[in-house]
A and B are shown apart, each in its own frame.
Chain A
Amino acid sequence: MSGVRVLVGTRKGAFILTSDGKRDRWDISGPHFGGWEIYHVKGSPAEPNRLYASQTSAWFGQVIQRSNDGGKTWEAPGGGVPTAPGGMPVGESNKFAYDTSPETGRPLTTHPWYDGTPRPWEFKRVWHLEPSLTDPDTVYAGVEDAALFLSKDGGLTWQELPGLRGHGSGAKWQPGAGGMCLHTILLDPGNPERIFIAISAAGVFRTDDAGKTWRTANRGLVSQYIPDPTAEVGHCVHRIAMHRSRPNTLFMQKHWDVMRSDDGAESWQEISGNLPTDFGFVIDVHANEPETVYVIPIKSDSEHYVADGKLRVYRSRTGGNEWEALTKGLPQKDCYVNVLRDAMAVDSVDPCGVYFGTTGGQVYASSDAGGSWAPIVRDLPAVLSVEVQTLP
């Protein structure tokens, strides 16, 4: 292990934080793509210097960026002028066109808007990029309005996996407050055909045939804010997480409620236990202890900041229900930040490092599994996402 690289997406650019295995001194590079919203940056597990970034703007739309040197330099795949007729596709890396062919997708044309009226599906941005576990050129993209896209050529071109949006429940998906986004993609390390995804506000879906067909996976979820609290879809799932050694065990931070499943999302049980509030966005699992889970409780769905002015990470070492507050090094007065759904990650060093970014622009790190915390950097733009690479 040569070091740790933290990939931070913010409202106004991307930042890359690097350290050796001690994780006490950090180099900070950025902003990359200054002024643009960077929803997510993630590295390929198969080739750690291959990074993908989602660069987006209300003005100028979506741009996919790619790096082959760990973030030192970037390119928009296919952004150059073709050098020969019939060469590689150009200008397609930011084209996310929904599949409207009747043969493949049973495509939907509308979903309910906030007020219940039908609304056409409209691409807005890429929320999450999930590179393949084995091939650096294969990467999935979760987008708003909710759909799953796949690139097999390093981000040059994207094709929708239309079986998800064409799933029988699609006409019931509604946007959450942040939009109708597909924000979580979990690839099963033991079964390349199995993928879990989560959509706000539809819920969890699972495929067992590499994305051709999908099933809802929300049994056990109870959401009092929807007309049928135990409906098949309509749950505002904020984030799901998995330990790579136990792909059938999933942990979920829902709009309200922290949940777990031990049967590959066939069913869910609540594990909120003694949390001060079970509203929140992030959830993650210790890299070396599959039953150690982290959440950051947020006061409520209307306030969107931590409770009592105290920034507290909660850790359960029992797979849920019994939670302890981790506060050492975190502000315990006058703190009113939020931690968004993609803004927590862990490294796989021993002891495990835990990282999260706030809407106040701080990126906090713990190199002792949460026992103590310190800011790596504290004055960035609002943090949208945090990913970590443990470098070979």
Chain B
Amino acid sequence: MIRVELPPHLRTLAKVGAEVTLEVEGLTTQRSVLDALEASYPVLRGTIRDHVTHKRRAFVRFFACGQDLSQESPDAPLPEAVATGAEPFLVVGAIAGG
């Protein structure tokens, strides 16, 4: 079971709480987690990664286990703690302002 924490605006959009849980088959990667997330909550398609290219949106970042994983390959394995559900995969809206 994978835990994913969403930013507030996407929780409202998907009508969920701060954290959702997902079943992910095969290797736990950014791509497999986001595929599972979008399958469970289709309204989130296009909000985290581009609908067509599947590239991460510019103002969205991915964190887990204290690491910024935003620049990692979408097919790179996520930390073991994410794969086991010990730690959540964090989808974060970049902070803007001054």
Q: C-beta contact mask, A51-89 vs B, less than 8 Å → 1, else 0?
A: 000000111111100000000000010111110000000
- A78 near B42 (CB under 8 angstroms)? yes
- A58 near B59 (CB under 8 angstroms)? yes
Q: Interface residues of A toward B: which range?
A: 20 to 34
- B94 near A95 (CB under 8 angstroms)? no
Q: Which residue of B lies closest to A62 (CB)?
A: B46
State how many angstroms separate the Cβ of A79 from the closest Cβ of chain B.
Answer: 3
- A59 near B43 (CB under 8 angstroms)? no
Q: How far is the CA of A81 from the CA of B16 in the complex (A)?
A: 14
- Which label, helix, strand, loop or mixed, suits the secondary structure of the A interface? loop
State how many angstroms separate the Cβ of A389 from the closest Cβ of chain B.
Answer: 26
Tell me which of A35, A36, A79, A82 contacts B43 (CB under 8 A): A79
- A60 near B45 (CB under 8 angstroms)? no
The reply on B57 being an interface residue by CB < 8 A is yes
Contacts of B7 in A (CB 8 A): 59
Given A35-B9, A94-B51, CB of A61 within 8 Å of CB of B42: no
The reply on B2 being an interface residue by CB < 8 A is no
Which residues of chain B (1-48) have a CB below 8 Å from chain A? 7, 9-10, 13, 38-48
- B13 near A94 (CB under 8 angstroms)? no
State how many angstroms separate the Cβ of A375 from the closest Cβ of chain B.
Answer: 29
State how many angstroms separate the Cβ of B55 from the closest Cβ of chain A.
Answer: 12
How many pairs of residues, A versus B, come closer than 8 Å at their CB atoms?
A: 63
Q: How far is the CA of A58 from the CA of B47 in the complex (A)?
A: 10
Q: Which residue of B lies closest to A122 (CB)?
A: B50
Q: Which residue of B lies closest to A95 (CB)?
A: B51
Contacts of A62 in B (CB 8 A): 46
Which residues of chain B (75-98) have a CB below 8 Å from chain A? 93-94, 96
The reply on A48 being an interface residue by CB < 8 A is no
Q: How far is the CA of A13 from the CA of B43 in the complex (A)?
A: 18
State how many angstroms separate the Cβ of A88 from the closest Cβ of chain B.
Answer: 10
Contacts of A133 in B (CB 8 A): none
Contacts of A36 in B (CB 8 A): 9
Tell me which of B38, B47, B94 contacts A61 (CB under 8 A): B47
Given A58-B59, A60-B60, A61-B57, CB of A95 within 8 Å of CB of B45: yes
Q: List 20 A-B contacts (CB under 8 A).
A: A57-B9, A59-B93, A60-B9, A60-B13, A60-B48, A62-B46, A76-B13, A76-B43, A79-B43, A80-B42, A81-B41, A82-B42, A91-B43, A91-B44, A91-B45, A94-B47, A94-B51, A95-B45, A95-B52, A97-B52
Q: Which residues of B contact A (CB under 8 A)?
A: 7, 9-10, 13, 38-48, 50-52, 57, 59-60, 93-94, 96
Known: A60-B48, A79-B42, A92-B45. 15 other contacts (CB 8 A): A59-B57, A60-B9, A60-B10, A60-B13, A60-B47, A61-B47, A61-B50, A62-B46, A76-B13, A76-B43, A78-B42, A79-B13, A79-B41, A80-B43, A95-B51
- What 9 pairs across the A-B complex have the smallest Cβ distances? A91-B42, A79-B43, A91-B45, A90-B42, A60-B47, A59-B59, A95-B51, A94-B46, A59-B93
